[in-house]
Amino acid sequence: MFWPQDIIYLTVLLIISALALFLFTAVAGRLWCGYACPQTVYTEIFMWIERVIEGDRNARMRLDKEGFSSKKLALKGVKHGVWLALALWTGITFVGYFTPIRELVTSAPGAWESFWALFYGFATYGNAGWMREQVCKYMCPYARFQSAMFDKDTLVITYDRARGEPRGKGEGKGDCIDCSICVQVCPTGIDIRNGLQYECIGCAACIDGCDQVMEKIGRPKKLIRYSTTHAMESKPTRLFRPRVLVYSAILALIATAATASLYLRVPLRVDVIRDRAAIAREVEGGLIENVYRLQIMNTTEQARAFDINVSGLPGILVWGENITGIPAAETRMVPVRVRADAATPSGSHPIEFTVRALGVEGVEVRENAVFIVR
Ligand code: SF4
Ligand code: SF4
CA distances from residue 283 to 290, 316, 343 in whole angstroms, order as listed: 10, 14, 13
The 10s digit of each residue's pLDDT in 77-132 is 999 999 999 999 999 999 998 888 888 888 788 889 999 999 999 999 999 999 99
Tell whether omega for the bond before 166 is within 30 degrees of 0, i.e. cis: yes
Instruction: Tell me the average pLDDT of the chain.
Output: 90
For residue 232, pLDDT beyond 80: yes
The pLDDT of 247-260, averaged and rounded, is: 95
Task: Give the number of the atom of ligand 2 that is nearest the alpha carbon of residue 182.
Answer: 7
Instruction: Give the range with max mean pLDDT: 32-36, 125-129, 195-199.
Output: 125-129
pLDDT at position 277, please?
Answer: 65
161: DSSP letter: H
For residue 278, pLDDT beyond 70: no
Cβ(272) – ligand 2 distance below 6 Å: no
Cα-to-centroid distance, 241 and ligand 1 (Å): 33
Please tell me the distance from the alpha carbon of residue 180 to that of residue 200, in angstroms, as a whole number: 16
Q: Please name which ligand lies nearest the alpha carbon of 29.
A: 2
Cβ(156) – ligand 2 distance below 6 Å: no
For residue 276, pLDDT beyond 80: no
